[in-house]
Chain A
């Protein structure tokens, strides 16, 4: 596609801190290249705001190559913008036309409080991982990777779940603000491998208990999470999480109660 430049109107959510109220502010940006990434367009705007002595727009980003899960903008009503299977940093301005108005909001969920502007606190995800997203290994020398045989299909499915970068788009898109796709990816990824077996009975129970404690809603299988996931995690993993949860509940020993 040929290169072009565009002038855009941005409606961006500005919020000083978690306690303050926040509102939309409108910014005009000029001569934006179609080859820029969405975040580079924000860099251009922020540089201008800093030069003008104004407060730049705060947003999360880190690797800018679509694998860290830090970027988190709700662009024109869709997490990570209009492209399928793409993070905000990998969204490029050729997705837009000259004269477009773009509305940018932070992830909205009680469990993801806004820190500033477009940045939200996603540490709830870390606590869900801590509750059960780990395995037990012996100390000492590292064991050769191929010591334990793993069925190829299981390994593939486990890897597809492990592709989850924990960005939180699933929560942002879900009408119930449920973290089920994230939790499902993390539970399934370990449940499918022999290395995850020692904690298998308690993992789903503990991670779901933590997910509920963090204030996420419950899943109603609408499929919005799967539709917006930049890593295309399948909603079938949620069914697998349900199965792991029931398995854990049935096999649970009394001393765990």
Chain B
């Protein structure tokens, strides 16, 4: 096997999914952590400062390019794998094994991923593109002018349909992560059962906490909690 074939073989393709997935998980930690600043109860001051840091740091700019590469690889590889795997059984079964053999979310990773991707397009259009390209109204904090991302969020999440879209996306993300988190570790070769049980539990906690935190952001803005 040539070294390039390592990444195009069936395990190699999984490795690409697992490594890009773990990278995206690490991004979620940063994203949810920074966004939690909206709950600082200071009319968005801390959140706007955090957003300003992310906006102006060179390191973050470079990581952003890497992040998009990560998204690209994970999504394209995911679609390719789904199509290839489906093509391996030309004639299907009359009666399917279904939930007797596996959890539903592990079989519907492609569908859950597609929902998250469609959400991402809306999310980018509403919040990322204004902050990066089209511009956001400024606010002055501590004598420094910065983008008022907090107010943009407040306006965006004042509409019910947006809140519903975000909550549905977070629900999909939660189920996607519950399978993806532990599956990624299996793929990179963790096979000790004791660690696998720990990773499985940690994965469920991570998925629920991160998704719930994300979902509560538009909800708490819609209900004027912040």
Interface residues of A (CB under 8 A from B): 11, 24, 74, 76-79, 103, 105, 108-111, 173, 175-178, 180, 205-206, 208-209, 211-212, 215-225, 227-228, 234-247, 249, 252, 256-257
Contact = CB atoms under 8 A, between A and B. Distances in A.
A129 to B, nearest CB: 17
B6 to A, nearest CB: 5
A222 B106 contact: yes
A223 to B, nearest CB: 5
Interface string B141-175: 00000000000000000000000000000000000
B93 A109 contact: no
A74 B94 CA distance: 10
A176 B91 contact: no
Contacts, number: 151
B95 interface: yes
A218 B196 CA distance: 20
A234 B183 CA distance: 15
B72 to A, nearest CB: 20
A179 B37 CA distance: 47
B5 A209 contact: yes
Contacts of A240: 189, 191
Nearest to A188: B191
Interface residues of B, number: 46
Contacts of A222: 101-103, 106-107
A105 B102 CA distance: 20
Contact of A217 (B10, B94, B106, B109): B10
Nearest to A75: B95
B3 interface: yes
B142 to A, nearest CB: 49
Given A77-B93, A217-B85, A252-B1, A173 B14 contact: no
Q: Give the top 6 A-B pairs by smallest Cβ distance, nearest first.
A: A243-B189, A77-B95, A224-B101, A218-B10, A239-B191, A176-B85
Contacts of B100: 77-78, 227
A253 to B, nearest CB: 11
Contacts of A246: 15, 188-189
- What's the dominant secondary structure at chain B's contact region? helix
Given A77-B98, A218-B11, A228-B97, A110 B88 contact: yes
Contacts of B196: 236, 239
Contact of B102 (A108, A223, A252): A223
A243 B95 contact: no
Contacts of B107: 175, 222
A242 B188 contact: yes
Interface string B72-101: 000000000100111111111111111011
A110 B187 contact: no
Given A218-B84, A218-B85, 20 more contacts: A77-B97, A77-B98, A108-B91, A173-B97, A177-B88, A208-B9, A208-B10, A209-B1, A215-B88, A219-B14, A220-B85, A220-B106, A221-B187, A222-B106, A224-B97, A228-B97, A238-B186, A240-B191, A242-B187, A243-B189
B10 A221 contact: no
B40 interface: no
B89 A108 contact: yes
Contacts of B109: 220
A142 to B, nearest CB: 32
A252 to B, nearest CB: 7
Contacts of B182: 221
B176 interface: no
A235 B161 CA distance: 42
Contacts of B91: 108
Contacts of B2: 257
Contacts of B9: 208-209, 212
A135 to B, nearest CB: 20
